[in-house]
Amino acid sequence: MALLVPQRMGPPWREAIGLLQHPPEPSAQRHAFLLARPMGLAATRSASMYRVLSDRLVRTGASVMRFDYHGTGDSPGEEGDQSLADWSRDVEEAQSGLLHAASPHHTDWFGMGLGANLMLQAALRVPSPPRRLVLWEPIDDGPAHLQALLVAHRREMVMQLAQPWDDLIAQGLVREPRVPGVVLGFHIGAQLNNDLQNLPALTDWLPLAAQRGMDVTVCATESSLNRWSRDLPTSVHGRLQWVPLQTATHWMSSEAMGAAVVPPEIHRILEVLTR
Amino acid sequence: MSHTEETLVLGDSMHLVATCTTPDLPASQAGKSVPLVVLLTNSGVIPRFGPNRMNVHLARHFAQLGIPSVRFDLSGLGDSSRPADPQPMMAQWISDCRAVMDHAEQRHDCSRFLMIGFCSGAEVAHLLGLQDTRLCAALLWDMYAYPTLESTLRYRWLRVRQLGLAGVTRKVQGRLLTALGRAKPTVSAKSANPPAIPSHPPAKAELMQRLQALVDRGVSLHFSFAEGNPHWFNHERQFKAMFHNAPFLSHVSFRFLREADHLLTESHAQTAFLAMTDEWLKQRVLPGLRPDDQA
């Protein structure tokens, strides 16, 4: 069995909890993966997938670190006090913890949703950048993402309470969701709301990662990939790989909460990561 | 009161990931025993932090009251792996809980446990109580429900309101055609995908026996249901009607949390759940402990 080692990372005032998974037998490859989760309901729904990914990657002889950002999941802190800059620093701390604990020759990073955006930002700052960055359905438009969350919140409550939204409001069973505020059970604070409203375009960051010598794989729907590819200078295309997804996973609903949520594309994720 | 959190790996196969929250007791209370330890675990596939992080909020709240807690992932859920030699699922999960209790008992020198079970976690909690006498209290959220005449009529009325006259007519027509063998039965998206509820409810008589056994042993039980399950639990009186005349009924507490959905999505639902738990703990659980048990 793989060896599980909990890690506390970051300064005492901003700790985050990580879980490092080592292969049962030490490997000569000394390779490691860092996995960054998405946010809110997407993090809850993808939790099983992250465990499955870790298990499979450990079987290749690698060490794998997955973690909860400060103020999320099992980590200390409050959701409402967070910012993208702080979470991006949590990624850096996780990388530092991984390098310290596993001493790998190189690391590959995988991030999903907002976790992909955070990884991209962190990868531009860490002293030892990853060899490869795999970004799964990164968020391209912050304001549109916030709007989608508000819509998903209403839809979720209508599904959960089995009544039309207007009826629920009239009975005082729900309140109109707002940002900043609690949306889909996740507290989006003022700073995070501001950060998402002004989220830099993915196409601003991807060339910088390529210039740092990282290979970047972006997995998203074909239309998103076509748009990004069109907006990027051809000089960086050599470092970028586009993986079109047949099915975008709808993470903003608890509909399948009682069952394991592992997207059908997981074999593609593994294929990309272990290539 | 501040607290300290530590994440550990436990179990015979070192496969269970658990986070212990320990209150930092003031010097004046150092060495005093804690009244009980709280167990918090998964709800369906939701990791140990609970639905919308409710287990984290609960752990911090209990720590303020001087009560330690452990939130943990059962085998194959959240961060916990399956053990090397797994048992059938429910038996394994009960074993997992007992392994966590063994650890917490040593850590806090306390053999009294309270478990908060959300949905499938409630299924685990009541079965744990039947097998391990260290469990002295359990809060069971959205556990098994059984239809009554009133709940069935209310649900039918809700469906009529949802479908409208035209929808009801179509439905009746479809049923008639099916009955006459001229159409295949259809499954609506709604009924094919109902919100998650505890799996495989036992026969009502079986559950009543189990609950009676727990009450006879002195286990404090609190049942609560959310508004958001109109197809299976939809009004305040249903709980008493479901277990009509059961001797255990006068020994358990119940609350229909109308302001909450199953996953406690809205902040007012989380606040209401926390307040309900606090009230039950202070009014029913702590006073029920033997005087020499109390801190």
B186 and B84 within one domain: no
Chain A residue with Cα closest to B72: A74
> Does residue A48 belong to the interface with chain B, where contact is any CB pair within 8 Å?
yes
A183 and A212 within one domain: no
Using a pLDDT cut of 70, give the percent of chain B over it. 92
For residues B216 and A221, the model is more confident at B216
> Does residue B19 belong to the interface with chain A, where contact is any CB pair within 8 Å?
yes
B276 and B210 within one domain: yes
Chain B residue with Cα closest to A153: B265
Whether residue B197 lies inside any domain: the answer is: no
- The β-bridge partners of B43 are B46
> Does residue B155 belong to the interface with chain A, where contact is any CB pair within 8 Å?
no
Token pair of B142, please?
């959205």
Q: Return the residue in A3, A70, A160 with the most chain B beta carbons within 10 A, the one to mutate for interface testing.
A: A160
Rg, C-alpha atoms of chain A: 19
What's the whole-number mean pLDDT along residues A38-52?
91
HSE, CB side, 13 Å, CA atoms: give it for residue B61: 19
Q: In which order are the strands placed within the sheet that holds A106-112?
A: A3-9, A16-22, A63-68, A31-36, A106-112, A132-136, A215-221, A240-245
Q: Which residues contact A53 (CB under 8 A, 6 or more apart)?
A: A35, A64, A110, A266, A269, A270, A273
A73 and A188 within one domain: no
Q: How far is A203 from chain B (nearest CA, A)?
A: 32
Q: How many CB pairs under 8 A join A and B?
A: 120
Could you tell me the pLDDT band of residue B184, with boundaries at 50, 70 and 90?
low
* First and final C-alpha spacing in chain A: 24
**Is the preceding peptide bond at B88 cis, omega within 30 degrees of 0?**
no
Token pair of A22, please?
């080592």
What pLDDT sits at residue B191? 37
Chain B residue with Cα closest to A3: B14
- The β-bridge partners of A35 are A66, A110
CB contact under 8 Å between B227 and A173, yes or no, is yes
Over 90: is that where the pLDDT of A4 sits? yes
> Does residue A248 belong to the interface with chain B, where contact is any CB pair within 8 Å?
no
What's the whole-number mean pLDDT along residues B145-173?
86
B208 and B129 within one domain: yes
Could you tell me the pLDDT band of residue B188, with boundaries at 50, 70 and 90?
very low
Q: Which residues contact A164 (CB under 8 A, 6 or more apart)?
A: A158
A68 and A11 within one domain: yes
CB contact under 8 Å between A182 and B71, yes or no, is no
**Domain of A39, in residue numbers:** 3-141+201-274
Amino acid identity of residue B287, one-letter, is: P
Nearest Cα neighbor of A175 from B184, B67, B259 is B259
- Which residues on A lie below 8 Å from B261 (Cβ)? 157, 160-161
Nearest to A73 among B47, B162, B265 (CB): B47
What's the whole-number mean pLDDT along residues B261-272?
93
What's the whole-number mean pLDDT along residues A135-145?
95
Token pair of A51, please?
């465990």
B111 and B17 within one domain: yes
A107 by DSSP, 3-state: which?
strand
Q: Residue B113 and residue B104: Cα distance in Å, rounded? A: 9
The answer to whether the beta carbons of residues B54 and A185 sit under 8 Å apart is: no
**Domain of B284, in residue numbers:** 3-145+202-293
A129 and A22 within one domain: yes
> Does residue B3 belong to the interface with chain A, where contact is any CB pair within 8 Å?
no
Chain B residue with Cα closest to A173: B259
Rg, C-alpha atoms of chain B: 21
B206 and B128 within one domain: yes
* Residues 173 through 212 of chain A touching chain B, CB cutoff 8 Å: 173-175, 182, 184-187
User: Any idea what DSSP says for residue A16?
Assistant: E
Question: What are the CB-based long-range contacts (under 8 Å, 24+) for B21-28?
Answer: B21/B59, B21/B60, B21/B62, B21/B63, B21/B68, B21/B69, B21/B70, B21/B71, B22/B63, B22/B68, B22/B107, B22/B108, B23/B62, B23/B63, B23/B64, B23/B65, B23/B66, B23/B67, B23/B68, B25/B1, B25/B66, B26/B1
Q: Return the residue in A19, A44, A169 with the most chain B beta carbons within 10 A, the one to mutate for interface testing.
A: A44
User: What per-residue string of b and e applies to B254-287 under the rule 16 or more CB within 10 Å gives b?
Assistant: bbbbbbbbbbbbbeebbebbbebbeebbeebbbe
Number of domains in chain A: 2
B101 and B16 within one domain: yes
What pLDDT sits at residue B192? 34
Q: Residue A156 and residue A151: Cα distance in Å, rounded? A: 9
Q: How far is B26 from chain A (nearest CA, A)?
A: 21
Amino acid identity of residue A247, one-letter, is: T
What's the whole-number mean pLDDT along residues A55-79?
95
B213 and B102 within one domain: yes
Q: How far is A23 from chain B (nearest CA, A)?
A: 13
B39 and B106 within one domain: yes
- pLDDT (tens digit, 9 = 90+) per residue, B219-263? 999 999 998 777 889 999 999 999 999 999 999 999 999 889 999
Over 90: is that where the pLDDT of B195 sits? no
B257 and B167 within one domain: no
- pLDDT (tens digit, 9 = 90+) per residue, A88-100? 999 999 999 999 9
Helices (H), A190-254: 190-197, 202-211, 222-231
- Which residues on A lie below 8 Å from B122 (Cβ)? none
Question: Is the model's pTM score more than 0.95?
Answer: no
Q: How far is A128 from chain B (nearest CA, A)?
A: 27
Nearest to B15 among A1, A45, A157 (CB): A1
B228 and B154 within one domain: no
Backbone angles phi, psi at A175, to 5 degrees: -120, 150
What pLDDT sits at residue B295? 45
Over 60: is that where the pLDDT of A109 sits? yes
B74 and B177 within one domain: no
CB contact under 8 Å between B45 and A260, yes or no, is yes
Amino acid identity of residue A68, one-letter, is: D
- Which residues on B lie below 8 Å from A175 (Cβ)? 266, 268
- Which residues on A lie below 8 Å from B53 (Cβ)? 72-73, 79, 185
Over 50: is that where the pLDDT of B185 sits? no
